[in-house]
Every structure is written in structure tokens, then in C-alpha cells.
């Protein structure tokens, strides 16, 4: 080992050691700064929690005082909200100080004081319903004020302790930051000095090495280029462009042996064409011989083997330098890219599928959120319009107008449910479905909401076998198909909806229109997601895609037949469902029996629903008490309120329906409960299983649907 190399190794080792030390020290400084930052942030979180706790307690106290002074029920909303926030912040505070012996020791005292204060506040609220004077006497006793003063003192103690720790932690952070800056600067300067010395030694070594290797470079060049290309096909030529050598890979790809190819013009052995134009491609060897430069083939070049087979290839040609710097020949390196192209095509297809899946996933989340918000509005409109229509003369203009509103809301509800199916990628509980009944309902809906110039007719086979499926999902799929048909007939036409039993025991639903039809190009893309022929903003392109997904989930088929100018026919095929009987012609659901008015507890966080639903059910004689959350409902039942039925919203902040239900039934076993949700009921099965007194109802719901659900729970309503 020469002295030059030893010096390089020593300099490099010193530089590596310094870099490692710098990295370790930097890592330690970063870890310490992160820990200091975390401790400072934790102190801020504790202080913030203490502030929010006091504000929430003051809000609850303000609501209580407002209720005691005025007796107005709305003042209880901030009181109850404040209590919830107090308990939540107290729980958060306990978690934040866990492991801190000093701060943790003060939490039990604070909790006892808070429980005492909340108990006194609840006592005055309860007394105010019965005896406002007694409630005010409790307040005038100043017991609550004394407890509140003790709470403030305890909070001040906790706050002062945490602020002192915050100041100490901020000092630690600033000290650590200074250490990190100065140590990093020193190590950087030392590394620069060592790097400069290493570079200087490297330049000296390279200069000496270049002088030593200059005489060997020409003799090594041929061997160096050839050995570097062993993995690919290699052909060499002399200065006239005649083949002198083929390696085994080149023999396999060209179909020539090295002996047969020797002395042949390169064009005869290496026959290449342009894949797109099918014309002979320019041979790179001529240019290499002429200019002495490295040349690569153009894209889309194919090698024609000796037997006539074509292979897509990539290659390059380089000159072989002689002793006098002249070009002594050419080395040609190439390889088969068939598998590489196939892999690239598969990769692009996978990327396209992934992009489409991500678009669908994003749209699903958006659809779910938007549909839930729209569902609450439809609930209120449908409820109010339904009850108001029942109070009017059916022949009156206002009653008919309200009937149109109800029908439109039902249609909107079905559209919203379709979005929810799309968002949650699932079907509701499967059961026997009468497709004739679905078609009759659909015809009534379309007849009430479409233009009169569209002639609607139903051709139903009676009796018809039942199918196994999700009734709401199938109803939405039929609506999607019919709405597409109506969109194809803006100037009027005829729409026929028919059913028939198939020879294999299944059922087929046919929807035929007299619209403009579809061209073969459009027909091949009709069920693709996001494909639409409507103007921008007039459609999502998800309709038929959602229909296809629904039918696929049911094991069914979708067939579309269309010709330009001759209309479109869509056939939905349902598989046979062994064990399900046929539905006799004219079968209709039984009407609900009349019964006494009910005492109903409505639990819903949406204010619009808490206003609309009690008005609707109250107009029918029922007494409805509305609770804004699960805890409020549990408190109402725990107070001994008499309730015949609970309507429980499943999606509520804080304590949702799934958490409220078991607590509610623990208070009142056997109490009938309707779980109200705008989403699929497949996630409700664990809550429904083994509870015959619990059922679900979609949101929004009509009075007929409400009565039918109660009939299933053996609860009669007028």
C-alpha cells in the first residue's frame, strides 16, 4: 500500500468518525429539543384544560342562574352543555397530569368539589320545577358560592404549579437550543477542515493514478466495454462494418451463430425495422464508424430474427479505438424489451385502477357526509308535509300540492340512500322482495312527479317469484334506470316497466323507453363510473355504475340494448331464490290497527328534527318529549318519566345511539325502541340481535313507514 493511499484512508476515516460524532450529537440534541418541546406543549395543554374547565363550569352556572331567575326552559341548554364540558375537561385533565405526583394529588379534591357544586346546581334546577322559592333559598344559603370559591382556589393552585413548571421547561428548551447550535457549528467547521484536507489528498492521488494508467487505457478499452455488456447481446464489427463476434445472447436473439455471421455485413445479421412505420430503421454502426461517437437506437425499434420473428429491442453502439486513436471497429449492445414493456403496461394499468379507486373512495366519503346532512332536512320537510296533508281535504289544491311534496321527498330520500349505499359500499339486510310491489310503487312515484307527456305503463306478470335482496337498494337501482330513461325523452315518449319469471326460476325486470338511444361507442362505456353524456354539472355519471354494483352484489346481471333513434331497453336479471314462495296478484301490506296515543321520547341532536318530528307526531295525539343527546334521555328516564316508545338517532356527537341503547334498556327493559338512521342498517345488526323490542327506521320516514315499524314492534298507533 503506497503512502498516498494510506494518507487518503486515514483522512477518510477521520472524516467518517467526525461525521458519525456529528450525527450522534445532532441526534441527541434533536431528541432533547423534542422532549423539551413536548414538555412545554404539555404544560400549555394542562393550562388550557384548566381554563376551559373553569369556563365550562361558569357557563353551566350561568345557565342554572338564568333558569332559576326566569323559569325559561332554553336556559337549561347551556347548563346541560356546560356540565358535559365540565366532565369532559375534568377527564382530560386527569389524563394530562397522570404520572405527575404533585398535580395528580390535587385532582381528587377538585373532583369532590366539582361533584358537590354540580349536585347543588342540579338540586336547585329540580326544585325550581316544583317550588321556585325553595330553589332560591338553596341559592341564598351561599353553599354553592363557598364550594365555587374552593374550586377557584384549587384551580389557582394547579395553575400556579403548572406555570412555574412551564417557565422552568422554557428555560431548559432555550439552554438546549444554544448547546445544539454551538456544538453543531463547531462540528461543521471541523468537518469542513477535514473534508478540505481529504479533497487535496484525493486530487494528488488521482493525478498520480491518471499518469500511471494512461499507457494501459487503450489496451484495456476493448476488454472493458465487452465485459461490461456480458448480460446483454453483444455484436462487434471491424472498421468496414462486417461482423467479427457474437456473444451467446446475441446468437439467441438474432438466430445467427457466431461462425455463420462472421464476415457478414451487420445489416444482414442485425436486421432492424421501425415498429410503427414498418420501414427499415437506420443502422447505428454507419454513424459510429463515420463520426466516432456512441449512438443509440430510436424508440419502437424491432429486431427481425433470421426466422422472421420480430422482437422489440433497445441498444447502443460505441466505437472501438485503435492504438492511433482511430476507430478500429464498433461494439453493438442490445437486449429484448418484451417483458419490460409488458411490465410497464401492467404498471400503468395498475396505476390507473388505483387512481380510479382513490377517486371513488374520495367521492364516497363526500357523498356520505353530504347525504347525511340532506337527510336531516328531508326528515323535517317530509314529516311536516305528511301530517299537514292528513289534516286537509284530500281533494283540495293544498292537499294535492303537499302530496306532490311528500312524493318528491320520498324520491329525494331514495336518492340520498343511494349515495349512502355508494359511500358505505354495502347493502342492508337481505330479505324476500316482491319486485311487482316495487314496480307499482315506482310507477305511482313517477306518475306524480314526471311530465304528463311521458306515457307510463307497467306490464307485470302475476304471480311472480320473490327474490332475495335488499329492498331499498333494489328500489334505488330501479329509480336510477327509470330516471335515465326519462332524461332520454325530454320531449315526451313512452316508458314501459315490465316483470317476468325466467325459465331458470329467476326474475327479469325490463325498462324500455322511446328516447334517442345510444351509439355503440357510448353503449360500451355506459356503466363506467363518472361516464355521462349530460352537460357538465347536470349529472355525476354514477347512476348506471351504482345500478351495476347493486345487481352484482345481488348476484344479478345488467343487459343494455340500444340503437340510435330506436330507444333503449335495460334488463335487470335476478337469480332464482329457492324456498321463497310466489306473491299472489294484488297482495298489499296490512294496515296498522288503531290504538291509544303514545308517550314518545325523541333523542336527536339535530335541532330541526327536534322541532319537526314532535310537531308531526303531536298533531296525531301523541305526546313527544325531545332530548338533544343520549345523556339527557337517560336522565329523563331515570327521573321516572313514563315513556311508551323511544325514537333514537344513531349519529350523535359524544354519546351516540350505539352507546345510549344498552344504557336505556338497562333502565327500562323491554321498552320499544326505533333506531333512526339514514345509513345502511348492516352495522345495526349487533344492536338488533336478540332484542325483539328494537327495530330500525330510515331517515326521513313517512307516517305510513312509522306505523308499519310500530306494528312490527306490536305497538299500535292511531
Q: How far is CA 116 from CA 113, 122, 150, 562, in A?
A: 5, 10, 11, 76
From 21-30, 531-540, 676-685, the region with the lowest mean pLDDT: 531-540
- pLDDT value at residue 536: 40
Query: 566-616, pLDDT tens digit by residue?
Result: 888 999 999 877 766 565 554 444 333 335 688 999 999 887 678 667 766
Residue 427 has pLDDT above 50, yes or no: no
DSSP label at residue 580: P
- Show the cell assigned to 486: 326519462
Contact in structure between 179 and 14 (CB atoms under 8 Å): no
For the domain with range 219-336, which CATH number is right: 3.40.47.40, 3.30.450.20, 3.40.50.300, 1.10.260.40?
A: 3.30.450.20
- pLDDT value at residue 227: 42
Distance separating alpha carbons of residues 535 and 537, to the nearest angstrom: 6
| Residue position matching grid coordinates 347525511 | 372
- pLDDT value at residue 635: 94
Domains of the chain: which residue ranges? 3-206, 219-336, 431-583, 599-712
What residues have CB less than 8 Å from 55, skipping those under 6 apart? none
pLDDT band of 261, cuts 50, 70, 90: confident
Which is more confident, 286 or 60? 60
Element (H, E) at 590: none
pLDDT band of 681, cuts 50, 70, 90: low
Helix (H, G, I), strand (E, B) or coil at 332: strand
Which is more confident, 646 or 483? 646
Query: 42-71, pLDDT tens digit by residue?
Result: 888 888 888 888 898 888 888 888 887 887
DSSP assignments along 246-304, one per residue: E-HHHHHHHS--HHHHTTSBHHHHSEEEETTT-SBPPPHHHHHHHH---EEPPSSEEEE
Distance separating alpha carbons of residues 280 and 283, to the nearest angstrom: 9
- pLDDT value at residue 659: 92
Residue 511 has pLDDT above 90, yes or no: yes
Contact in structure between 657 and 649 (CB atoms under 8 Å): yes
Element (H, E) at 299: none
Q: How far is CA 503 from CA 460, 464, 507, 578, in A?
A: 16, 12, 9, 14
Distance separating alpha carbons of residues 640 and 311, to the nearest angstrom: 86
Residue 183 has pLDDT above 90, yes or no: no
**599-712: which CATH topology?**
Rossmann fold (3.40.50)
- pLDDT value at residue 718: 45
Q: State the Cα torsion 242-246-249-251 to the nearest 10°.
A: 80
Query: Which of 98-112, 195-209, 322-336, 366-380 tops mean pLDDT?
Result: 98-112
CATH number for the domain formed by residue range(s) 431-583: 3.30.565.10
Residue 203 has pLDDT above 90, yes or no: no
Share of the chain above pLDDT 70, in %: 73
Q: Which of 510, 493, 491, 499 is nearest to 566 (CA)?
A: 493
From 204-218, 303-317, 556-570, 585-599, the region with the lowest mean pLDDT: 585-599
Q: How far is CA 212 from CA 206, 321, 322, 401, in A?
A: 10, 20, 20, 101
Span 441-455, average pLDDT:
68
Contact in structure between 218 and 321 (CB atoms under 8 Å): yes
| Residue position matching grid coordinates 306505523 | 707
Distance separating alpha carbons of residues 677 and 453, to the nearest angstrom: 37
**What value does the mean pLDDT of the chain take?**
76
Distance separating alpha carbons of residues 154 and 147, to the nearest angstrom: 11
- pLDDT value at residue 129: 79
DSSP label at residue 384: H
Separation of CA 542 from chain center: 17
- pLDDT value at residue 587: 46
Amino acid at each position: 500500500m503506497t503512502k498516498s493511499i494510506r494518507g487518503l484512508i486515514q483522512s477518510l476515516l477521520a472524516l467518517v468518525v467526525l461525521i458519525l460524532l456529528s450525527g450522534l450529537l445532532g441526534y441527541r440534541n434533536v431528541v432533547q429539543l423534542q422532549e423539551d418541546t413536548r414538555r412545554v406543549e404539555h404544560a400549555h395543554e394542562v393550562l388550557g384544560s384548566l381554563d376551559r374547565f373553569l369556563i365550562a363550569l361558569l357557563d353551566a352556572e350561568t345557565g342554572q342562574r338564568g333558569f332559576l331567575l326566569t323559569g325559561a326552559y332554553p336556559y337549561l341548554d347551556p347548563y346541560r352543555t356546560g356540565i358535559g364540558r365540565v366532565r369532559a375537561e375534568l377527564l382530560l385533565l386527569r389524563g394530562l397530569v397522570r404520572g405527575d405526583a404533585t398535580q395528580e394529588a390535587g385532582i381528587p379534591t377538585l373532583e369532590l368539589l366539582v361533584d358537590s357544586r354540580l349536585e347543588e346546581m342540579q338540586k336547585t334546577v329540580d326544585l325550581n320545577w316544583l317550588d321556585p322559592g325553595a330553589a332560591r333559598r338553596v341559592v341564598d344559603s351561599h353553599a354553592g358560592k363557598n364550594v365555587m370559591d374552593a374550586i377557584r382556589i384549587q384551580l389557582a393552585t394547579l395553575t400556579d404549579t403548572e406555570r412555574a413548571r412551564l417557565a422552568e421547561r422554557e428555560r431548559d428548551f432555550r439552554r438546549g437550543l444554544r448547546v445544539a447550535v454551538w456544538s453543531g457549528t463547531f462540528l461543521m467547521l471541523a468537518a469542513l477542515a477535514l473534508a478540505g484536507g481529504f479533497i487535496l489528498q484525493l486530487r494528488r492521488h488521482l493525478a498520480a493514478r491518471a499518469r500511471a494508467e494512461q499507457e494501459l487505457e487503450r489496451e484495456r478499452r476493448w476488454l472493458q466495454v465487452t465485459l461490461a455488456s456480458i448480460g446483454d447481446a453483444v455484436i462487434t464489427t471491424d472498421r468496414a462494418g462486417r461482423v467479427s463476434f457474437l456473444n451467446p445472447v446475441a446468437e439467441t436473439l438474432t438466430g445467427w451463430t457466431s461462425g455463420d455471421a462472421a464476415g457478414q455485413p451487420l445489416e444482414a445479421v442485425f436486421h432492424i425495422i421501425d415498429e410503427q412505420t414498418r420501414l427499415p430503421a437506420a443502422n447505428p454502426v454507419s454513424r459510429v464508424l463515420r463520426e466516432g461517437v456512441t449512438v443509440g437506437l430510436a424508440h419502437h425499434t424491432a429486431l427481425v430474427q433470421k426466422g422472421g420473428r420480430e422482437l422489440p429491442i433497445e441498444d447502443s453502439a460505441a466505437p472501438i479505438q485503435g492504438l492511433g486513436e482511430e476507430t478500429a471497429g464498433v461494439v453493438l449492445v442490445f437486449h429484448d424489451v418484451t417483458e419490460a414493456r409488458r411490465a410497464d403496461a401492467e404498471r400503468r394499468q395498475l396505476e390507473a385502477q388505483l387512481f380510479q379507486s382513490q377517486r371513488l373512495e374520495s367521492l364516497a366519503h363526500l357523498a356520505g357526509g353530504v347525504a347525511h346532512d340532506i337527510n336531516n332536512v328531508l326528515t323535517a320537510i317530509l314529516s311536516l308535509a305528511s301530517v299537514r296533508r292528513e289534516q286537509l281535504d284530500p281533494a283540495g289544491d293544498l292537499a294535492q300540492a303537499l302530496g306532490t311534496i311528500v312524493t318528491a321527498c320520498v324520491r329525494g330520500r331514495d336518492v340520498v340512500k343511494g349515495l349512502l349505499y355508494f359511500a358505505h359500499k354495502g347493502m342492508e339486510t337481505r330479505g324476500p322482495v316482491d319486485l311487482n310491489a316495487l314496480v307499482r310503487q315506482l310507477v305511482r312515484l313517477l306518475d306524480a312527479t314526471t311530465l304528463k307527456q311521458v306515457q307510463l305503463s307497467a306490464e307485470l306478470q302475476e304471480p311472480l317469484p320473490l327474490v332475495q335482496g335488499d329492498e331499498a337498494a333494489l328500489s334505488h337501482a330501479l329509480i336510477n334506470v327509470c330516471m335515465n330513461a326519462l332524461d332520454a325523452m325530454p320531449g315526451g315518449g313512452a316508458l314501459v316497466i315490465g316483470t317476468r319469471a325466467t325459465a331458470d326460476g329467476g326474475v327479469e325486470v325490463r325498462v324500455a323507453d322511446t328516447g334517442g338511444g345510444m351509439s355503440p361507442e357510448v353503449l360500451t362505456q355506459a356503466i363506467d363510473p363518472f361516464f355521462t353524456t349530460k352537460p357538465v354539472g347536470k349529472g355525476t355519471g354514477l347512476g348506471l355504475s351504482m345500478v351495476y354494483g347493486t345487481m352484482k352484489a345481488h348476484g344479478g346481471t345488467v343487459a343494455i340494448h340500444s340503437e340510435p333513434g330506436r330507444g333503449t331497453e335495460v334488463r335487470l336479471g335476478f337469480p332464482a331464490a329457492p324456498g321463497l314462495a310466489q306473491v299472489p296478484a294484488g297482495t298489499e301490506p296490512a294496515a296498522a290497527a288503531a290504538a291509544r296515543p303514545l308517550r314518545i321520547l325523541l333523542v336527536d341532536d339535530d335541532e330541526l328534527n327536534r322541532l319537526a318530528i314532535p310537531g308531526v307526531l303531536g298533531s296525531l295525539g301523541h305526546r313527544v318529549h325531545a332530548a338533544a343527546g343520549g345523556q339527557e334521555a337517560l336522565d329523563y328516564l331515570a327521573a321516572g318519566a313514563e315513556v311508551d316508545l323511544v325514537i333514537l338517532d344513531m349519529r350523535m356527537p359524544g354519546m351516540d345511539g350505539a352507546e345510549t341503547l344498552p344504557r336505556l334498556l338497562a333502565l327500562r327493559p323491554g321498552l320499544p325502541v326505533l333506531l333512526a338512521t339514514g345509513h345502511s342498517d348492516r352495522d345495526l345488526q349487533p344492536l338488533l340481535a336478540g332484542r325483539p323490542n328494537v327495530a330500525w327506521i330510515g331517515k326521513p320516514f313517512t307516517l305510513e313507514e312509522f306505523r308499519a315499524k310500530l306494528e312490527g314492534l306490536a305497538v299500535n298507533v292511531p
